[in-house]
Chains A and B, each alone.
Chain A
Amino acid sequence: MKIALDKVAKTFETFRAVRGVSLEIGSGELVALLGPSGSGKTTILRMVAGLEYADEGQIFFGDEDATDIPVRERGVGFVFQHYALFPHMTVAENIAFGMKVSKVKRERTQIDARVADLLRLVKLDGLGERFPSQISGGQRQRVALARALAVDPKVLLLDEPFGALDANVRRDLRRWLREIHDELGITTLFVTHDQEEALDLADRVVILDQGRIVQEGTPEEVCRRPGSAFVMKFLGDTNRLEGTATGGRADIGGTVIDAQDVPDGKVELLARPGDLGWRTEGGGIAADVLRVIDRPEGRRLLARTAAGDTVEIDVPADMQVRARDSGFIEVRRGNVFPA
C-alpha cells in the first residue's frame, strides 16, 4: 500500500508544526522521518495515522483520499514511543485486542492461534500470560509491535519506537525490526531523532527541519551528498572551516577544494573527522593540538587552527602525537556551502 502526502500542513495554536510537506512512500518501503525535536516528524506520522487532522493538504492511501477517514477505519498499525500497552491485560490479551474488536468476526481458536504466531514472530513465545509490568522495556516494545501487526494493517507507523531503551537494546531491536519488515513486506514509516538508527534501518531517509523537508534520499545519498549545512551537521560529527570561493574553487586556509556551483564569496567547508588528516610537515592549515582523545574505534585529535576554529580529526591509533604539538590539517574531502 503506497502512501502519498500532498502539501500537508498543521498548526497548533500559533505554532506551525508542519508547513507544506509533500511525500511519497512506495508500497513495501521502509522510510525514516528524521529530524530534531520540533521538526514536525511526529505530527506528520500522527496525521498519517489519523490521530491528528491536517489543516491543509491531503493524505492518500493507495488511490483513496484518506484525509477525512477516522483513525479506527484507516487500517494502520501504530506503535507508540512508550508502548501504550494496556496495563490491565496480559500480553496475549493485548495482542488479541484488535482482533476482538474487529468488525471481522473471528473464532476464539483463530484468535488464539494468531496470537501464538505473533508471539513467535517477535520471539516472545511463552510470555503470553505475563502482564506488561512484568516484562522489560524491549519486550514491551515487541508486544506493541505484535499488537499492531495483529490487525493486518496496510501500513505500519512507529513513533520513536526505541527512544526509551538502552543503546544496546536499541541496536538489537533495530536489526530485528528490519528482519520483520523484510519478511512481511509491509509499508513502514517510522520517526526518529537518532541519525544512526535512520541510516541503519531505512530504505529512504526524509530529513525534516522546522516543519519542512530539507532533503530526502537513500542513506548513501544523504550521507555522501548532503544538500545543506544543516543536513550535514545533523547526520554526524562535522568540522567547520572558513574560506573564500572564486570561480568554482574554494580556498580553505591555503588548501584549494573543488567547489562547483558555489557562488563566489565567503564559504564554509564542512568535513567529517575522517575526511581530515594530520601532518607534522608538508603544508595544509596550520593548527595546534589541544587534546588527544582515545576511543575503542580509534584516536581523535582536538586541534585549533590559527584562525581560531576548533576541529576534530580521526588519526591512526598509533600516531605519535601529543597535546601542544604543532602541525598541519590536511583536507582530503569535504562539502563546501555558502557561509
Chain B
Amino acid sequence: MKRRVLPGLPLALGFTLFYVALIVALPIGALIFKAAGLGIEDYWRIVSSPRALASYRVTLLCALGATAANLVFGLALAWVLVRYDFSGKRFVDAIVDLPFALPTAVAGIALTALFANNGWFGSALSQIGVQVVHTPLGIMIAMFFTSIPFVVRTVQPVLEDLDPALEEAAQSLGGSDGEIFRKVILPLLTPALLAGLSLSFARSLGEFGAVIFIAGNRPNSTEITALLAFIRLEEYDYAAAAAIASVLLFTAFVMLAVTNALQARALRYTTRG
C-alpha cells in the first residue's frame, strides 16, 4: 500500500473538501437545481423573453467594447511600464491596481459623478453632444475601469521576460522596428494578451456594482443581465431570477474553461515555466 511521506493530508484535504462543498458547491448546486426544476418550456420562456434578450445584448456588446478598449490600453500600459523610464512611473505602476482594490460601488458612484451632466467630464462632453450616463457608453466605461488590471498584469510579466536576444537577432537580420514588433514581439505576447482579455471579458460580463449607478438601468436599453436577475428577485419572481442567474452561471463556466486554457498557453514562450 502506498504510504504518504508528509503528514496532514486527511485534515487538510478534509477541511478543504468540506469548505468547498459547503461554501462553493452547495450554493451552485442549489441554483442549478432550482433552475432545472422549472421545466424546459418555462425556462426557455424566461431566458428568451424580449427583456432578457435585450439585457444579453447590452451586456455582451458593452463587455466587448470595454474589452476592446482594454486591449489597446492594457497593451500600451504594459509596454510603457516595462520598456520606458519616466518620472512617476512607480506611481502609475501602483495606481493601476486601484480598480482591483476599490469597492465596485465606490467606483460606480465616482464614475457617475464624473460623467453626470454637471460633472467634471460630463459637462464638457454634453457640450459636444456626447452623453455618458444612462447610456451603453457609460456601462462600457464602468466595465473598462474595473477590468484595467487584468490585461496589464497578464501581459507585463511576459513582456518583462521577453528575451532581448530575440529582438537583437531580428535587428541583426535587418528588420525594422515595425516589422520586429509585428512579426516577433506581438506573436510572442499574443497568448498572454488573449488570457488577459478573456479575464477582462469575464469580469465585465458579471460586473454589477460599478455599472448600475451609471447605467440608468432602463429595460431593453441600458439594463444588464445581472441587474435583471436582481430585479426579478425584488419582485419575488424566484423562478425568473433562477433562470437568468443560471444563464450568467453557464457563461461564467464557459469563460472559466476558456481562460484556463488560454492561461496555460500564455506562458509557453517565456524562458521560465
Q: Is there a contact between chains A and B in the complex with CB atoms less than 8 Å apart? A: yes
A84-B163, A88-B188 known; A97-B175 Cβ under 8 A: yes
Question: Does residue A105 face the partner (Cβ distance < 8 Å to B)?
Answer: no
B163 & A151 in contact (Cβ 8 Å cutoff): no
Assess the B172–A102 pair: CB atoms within 8 A: no
Q: Does B125 count as interface, using CB distance less than 8 angstroms?
A: no
Question: Among B169, B176, B183, B269, which residue has its beta carbon within 8 angstroms of that of A78?
Answer: B169
Q: Are B176 and A84 in contact (CB under 8 A)?
A: no
Once the chains bind, are A101 and B175 in contact (CB under 8 Å)? yes
Question: Given A80-B165, A87-B188, A97-B183, are A71 and B175 also a contact pair (CB < 8 Å)?
Answer: no
A224 at the interface (CB under 8 A from B): no
Assess whether B168 is interfacial by the CB under 8 Å rule.
Answer: yes
B69 at the interface (CB under 8 A from A): no
Known: A98-B174, A101-B176, A102-B174. Contact between A71 and B184, CB under 8 A?
no
Partner of B168, one of A84, A147, A148: A84
Q: By the criterion CB–CB under 8 Å, are B173 and A97 in contact?
A: yes
- In the bound complex, how far is the Cα of B173 from the Cα of A78, in angstroms? 8
Q: Could you tell me the distance between the alpha carbons of A76 and B171 in the complex, rounded to whole angstroms?
A: 10
Of the candidates B163, B172, B184, B188, which one forms a contact with A72 in the assembled complex, judged by CB atoms under 8 Å apart?
A: B172
A103 at interface by CB-CB < 8 Å: yes
CB-defined A-B contacts under 8 Å, sample of 29: A51-B168, A51-B171, A51-B172, A71-B168, A71-B172, A72-B171, A72-B172, A72-B173, A72-B176, A78-B168, A78-B172, A80-B168, A82-B163, A82-B165, A84-B163, A84-B166, A86-B166, A88-B187, A88-B188, A97-B183, A98-B173, A101-B170, A101-B174, A101-B175, A101-B176, A103-B174, A147-B169, A147-B173, A150-B173
- Does B179 sit within 8 A of A, measured CB to CB? yes
A76 touches B172 (CB 8 A): yes
**Alpha-carbon gap, A78 to B184, bound state (A):** 17
Instruction: Verify B169–A101 contact, CB threshold 8 A.
Output: no
Which residues of B have CB within 8 Å of A243? none
Q: Hey, which chain B residues are within 8 Å of A18, CB to CB? A: none
Interface on chain B toward A: helix, strand, loop, or mixed SS? helix
Q: Does A40 contact B (CB under 8 A)?
A: no
Cβ–Cβ contact A80 & B269, under 8 A: no
- Residues of chain A lying within 8 A (CB to CB) of residue B165: 80, 82, 84
Q: Does A35 reach chain B (CB closer than 8 Å)? A: no
Q: Give a binary string over A121-135; 1 marks a CB under 8 Å from any B CB, 0 the rest.
A: 000000000000000
Q: What separation, in Å, do the CA atoms of A73 and B183 have in the docked complex?
A: 19
Q: Determine if A17 is an interface residue (Cβ-Cβ < 8 Å).
A: no
**A78 and B188 alpha carbons, distance in the complex (Å):** 21
Instruction: State the Cβ distance, B261 to closest chain A Cβ, in Å.
Output: 18
Nearest CB in chain A to that of B169: its residue: A84
The chain B residue with its CB closest to the CB of A79 is B169
| With A80-B165, A80-B168, A80-B169: A86-B174 Cβ-Cβ less than 8 Å | no
Known: A97-B183, A101-B179. A49 touches B174 (CB 8 A): no
B113-172 at interface with A (beta carbon < 8 Å): 163, 165-166, 168-172
Q: Are B173 and A151 in contact (CB under 8 A)?
A: yes
Q: Residues of B contacting A103 with CB < 8 Å?
A: 174
Contacts of A150 in B (CB 8 A): 173
- Give bound CA distance, A264 to B169, whole Å: 54
Q: Bound complex: CA of A71 vs CA of B171, how far in Å?
A: 7
Within 8 A of B (CB), among A141-187: 147-148, 150-151
| Cα(A21)–Cα(B252), bound, Å | 64
Q: Check: A327 CB closer than 8 A to any chain B CB.
A: no
Contact residue among A77, A82, A87, A88 (Cβ-Cβ distance under 8 Å from B172)? A77
Complex Cα gap A51–B171 (Å): 9
Task: Mark A68-110 against chain B: 1 for CB-CB distance below 8 A, else 0.
Answer: 0011110011101010101110000000011001110000000
Name the 6 nearest CB pairs between A and B, nearest first: A98-B173, A84-B165, A84-B169, A101-B175, A78-B172, A88-B187
Give chain A residues whose Cβ lies under 8 Å from the Cβ of B163: 82, 84
User: Within 8 Å CB of A49, what residues of B?
Assistant: 172
Most chain B CB atoms below 10 A, which of A70, A82, A98, A103? A98
Q: Report the separation of the CA atoms of residues A148 and B170 in the bound assembly, to the nearest whole angstrom.
A: 10
Question: Using Cβ atoms and an 8 Å threshold, which residues of chain A touch B187?
Answer: 88
A50 to B169, CA, bound (A): 11
CA distance A70 to B184 in the complex (A): 19
A151 CA / B175 CA spacing, docked (Å): 11
* Complex CA–CA separation, A87 to B174 (angstroms): 19
Q: In the assembly, what is the distance between CA of A80 and CA of B179, in Å? A: 20
Residues of A contacting B172 in the complex (Cβ-Cβ under 8 angstroms): 49-51, 71-72, 76-78, 148
Question: From B163, which residue of chain A is reached at the shortest CB distance?
Answer: A84
Which residues of the other chain, A, contact B184 by a CB distance below 8 angstroms? 86
Task: With a 10 A CB-CB cut-off, give which of A70, A87, A151 has the most chain B CB atoms.
Answer: A87
- Tell which of A72, A80, A82, A84 touches B174, judged by Cβ atoms closer than 8 Å: A72
Contacts of B171 in A (CB 8 A): 51, 70-72
A303–B269 CA distance with the chains assembled, in angstroms: 53
User: Once the chains bind, are B175 and A72 in contact (CB under 8 Å)?
Assistant: yes
